[in-house]
Chains A and B, each alone.
Chain A
Amino acid sequence: MYRNDMTRKEIERAFAERSAADERLIQSLQNCDRRHFLRTSLKFAGMAAAASLVPSHAFQLVNVANAATPEGGNPGVAFRFAYVSDSHLYARGMTHRFARAAVKAVEDVNALDPQPDFVLFGGDLAQLGRPDELALGQQILKDLKAPVRMMVGEHDWYLDLGEKWKEMFGPDHYSFDHKGIHFVVLNSVVEKDFWTAKGYTPEQRMAIVSGLDDSRQSSFEVGEPQRAWLKQDLAKIDKKTPLIVFSHSPLYKLYRGWNFWTDDAELVQAILKPFQTVTVIHGHTHQLLTNRIGNIQFHGLLSTAWPWPYAPEGLPAYTVQMFRPDPFNQFDGCGDGSVDVLVKGHVDKHYNLWSRNPRIVTARELAGNSLPGGGYQGPSY
């Protein structure tokens, strides 16, 4: 909140504002009886135990760092949505570590008070795209109290090219409006056919796509049909309307070797560019990731299942890397989180890291943080 170019007076004013804000926060914390904390653990445990979903002694907690700012305390936030992403479920029962982690994320989101307007699922619900894995994921996400918006990832898609997904969750790309923001959900993990010529079976195709470092697959793209759909969908939207785009691949080019990449990123960005405020929220990368290209801000989602190291090249200059996770602790480097949608249309991104102090990346810090050369960290090749 302090910029290098502030005058002393501006700094003093900012400090006074911050102290006042802190005061209000402390006050609100002390007024516990004014805020009610949803504590449905007994009720939830009972229901869930009956459905053999969660162990009976699990319960939810309020996510203190994630709690909404006091009512009226931050007029800049219009609303909030939460996210759970990249759960990579195996259908091996509820005691499997990936299932436990997905349930942990659901509990976190359910404990938010007030509840978010909706929950984004960021893709890669299943690990191998199998119907039983997708069903398990659907079952776990059903316990979310807030409405869920689904987005597809490559691990969900390439066993049957999306048949089961579309049957269970609906179209792979769509748009909706919410409180003045236009949301677009893309299937940005389209790959050019690499399997027919080689005669791969569906399982082989899925196995290849599920290998992050498997170079037999093609690069991710959005593709011409969806780009045409996007152009048409956005044609009726006023340029001043803030856009938020949900995409599994990052919609920019970070590292091709791991498909941290969208082949037609520039073409998609060109379609988005005319709009004043655009934010892309993407999955797939399993780490803290931040970028800005012109007027488009990009935020990565955390995975519940496992963290990834940073790619050998192409890291955006805006990203403050998280330190290497400790593999003894299955939750380290993983988590869930929420997104504050600001009145002005950009977002503050909350990373609720399970074993670390939370991190919040604000729109203001992205907008104000100009880098030499205009602030675009392109791919290194």
Chain B
Amino acid sequence: MKATLVAGSLLLGTIALGILGVVAGGSSDVESARRTLVGAQPDWASRAVWACDQRKLVVVEGVRRGEKIPPERAQLVADVLMDLMRFCNEEITVRIGTNQMMTVAANGRVYENYVPGGPLPIVKASFGEPTQREQAIWKAELDKLVAEGDRLFHSDEIGGNGVACAMCHPNASNAHPETYPKFQTQLKKVALLRDMVNWCILNPLEGKELAPDDPRMRALEAYILAQRRGTPLDAGKH
């Protein structure tokens, strides 16, 4: 395979050089990021493999001086380098740990916990896309709010008579939040989703309306909207 040949040539080149952490003229935060990565494990040996443009560096941990990088890891090094080459002008450093977990430093930031086989978290740094860690945090926060909304939606604590939202709206069906704003015939005015939620709480659920910024209202809205993602609109159904 082409990648293997390239990897092979890179290996020869880098083993011959045996250079660690050579920074060829980058900004100081890039440099410190690299130092963070490369200098992380002083008692382990690491091998550094440069791409031909001198801007992409892969540091492989657990390979002692004089040892060859084992073939599977070498393949991984090559795959990573080839993938990094997509980002022509960027200076990117990847550390491949002994457990194959990869940490990436690019544009002055560190991206952690990349798992081999998954998509590389390298992004077009000039657009400032979020890191994978950030995305994971955001998703966890969203899931938390949606889960709280799910709980309230199915519970009898929102209303006063034991009726839960989910009784008439299993899986938030027939709620159609994406159709708002619209004239809501029960309210006799144009309503937003939370206006209708409050109307339902007051009327079929015989409960007390929530303030629009009440955390429970926000959670309910989040749950209802999350259920609709990717579902086609079909009035009266889910």
Touch A–B, Cβ below 8 Å: yes
Is B170 at the interface (CB under 8 A from chain A)? yes
Binding site for B on A (CB under 8 A): 90, 92, 96-97, 127, 211-214, 257-258, 306-312, 321, 323-324, 326-328, 330
Q: Contacts of B166 on A, CB cut-off 8 Å?
A: 211-213
Query: Is B234 a contact of A312 with CB atoms below 8 Å?
Result: yes
A and B contact pairs by CB, cutoff 8 A, 21 listed: A90-B161, A90-B162, A97-B161, A97-B163, A212-B167, A213-B166, A213-B171, A306-B167, A306-B168, A308-B168, A309-B169, A309-B170, A312-B173, A312-B237, A312-B238, A323-B236, A324-B174, A324-B235, A326-B185, A327-B204, A328-B186
**A-B contacts besides A97-B161, A330-B204, 13 pairs, CB < 8 Å:** A90-B162, A212-B167, A213-B170, A213-B171, A306-B168, A308-B168, A309-B169, A309-B170, A312-B237, A324-B235, A326-B186, A327-B168, A328-B186
Closest to A97 in B: B161
Q: Could you tell me how many residues of chain B have their Cβ less than 8 Å away from some Cβ of chain A?
A: 24
CB A202 to nearest CB in B, in angstroms, measures 18
Residue in B163, B167, B203, B235 whose beta carbon sits within 8 Å of that of A328 in the complex: B203
Q: Contacts of A330 on B, CB cut-off 8 Å?
A: 204
Contact flags B100-126 to A (C-beta < 8 A → 1, else 0): 000000000000000000000000000
Q: Contacts of A97 on B, CB cut-off 8 Å?
A: 161, 163, 206
Contact flags B218-238 to A (C-beta < 8 A → 1, else 0): 000000000000010011111
Q: A311 and B163 in contact (CB under 8 A), knowing A212-B170, A327-B168?
A: no
Closest to B156 in A: A90
Closest to A327 in B: B204
- Total A-B pairs, Cβ < 8 A: 61
CA A66 to CA B28, docked complex, whole Å = 86
Q: Contacts of B194 on A, CB cut-off 8 Å?
A: none
CB B135 to nearest CB in A, in angstroms, measures 26
Binding site for A on B (CB under 8 A): 154, 161-163, 166-171, 173-174, 185-186, 200, 203-204, 206, 231, 234-238
Query: Is B237 a contact of A309 with CB atoms below 8 Å?
Result: yes
CB B87 to nearest CB in A, in angstroms, measures 42
CB B190 to nearest CB in A, in angstroms, measures 17
For the complex of A and B, list the 8 residue pairs with the smallest distance between their C-beta atoms, beginning with the closest.
A309-B174, A213-B170, A212-B170, A312-B238, A324-B236, A213-B171, A90-B162, A309-B173
CA A90 to CA B160, docked complex, whole Å = 12
CB A45 to nearest CB in B, in angstroms, measures 25
Q: Contacts of A96 on B, CB cut-off 8 Å?
A: 161-162
CA A15 to CA B167, docked complex, whole Å = 45
CA A204 to CA B235, docked complex, whole Å = 33
Q: A308 and B170 in contact (CB under 8 A), knowing A96-B161, A97-B161, A327-B204?
A: yes
CB B184 to nearest CB in A, in angstroms, measures 11
Closest to A307 in B: B168
Q: Contacts of A308 on B, CB cut-off 8 Å?
A: 168, 170
Interface centre among B206, B231, B238, by most chain A C-beta atoms within 10 angstroms, is B238
Q: Contacts of B169 on A, CB cut-off 8 Å?
A: 309
Closest to A330 in B: B204
Query: Is B161 a contact of A309 with CB atoms below 8 Å?
Result: no
CA A321 to CA B174, docked complex, whole Å = 14
Query: Is A311 a contact of B237 with CB atoms below 8 Å?
Result: yes
CA A306 to CA B205, docked complex, whole Å = 12
CA A285 to CA B168, docked complex, whole Å = 11
Q: Contacts of B234 on A, CB cut-off 8 Å?
A: 312
CA A257 to CA B234, docked complex, whole Å = 17
Q: Contacts of A92 on B, CB cut-off 8 Å?
A: 161-162
CB A306 to nearest CB in B, in angstroms, measures 6
Q: Contacts of B203 on A, CB cut-off 8 Å?
A: 327-328
CA A294 to CA B236, docked complex, whole Å = 29
Query: Is B237 a contact of A310 with CB atoms below 8 Å?
Result: yes
CB A128 to nearest CB in B, in angstroms, measures 9
Q: Contacts of A326 on B, CB cut-off 8 Å?
A: 185-186
CA A321 to CA B173, docked complex, whole Å = 16
Q: Contacts of A257 on B, CB cut-off 8 Å?
A: 171
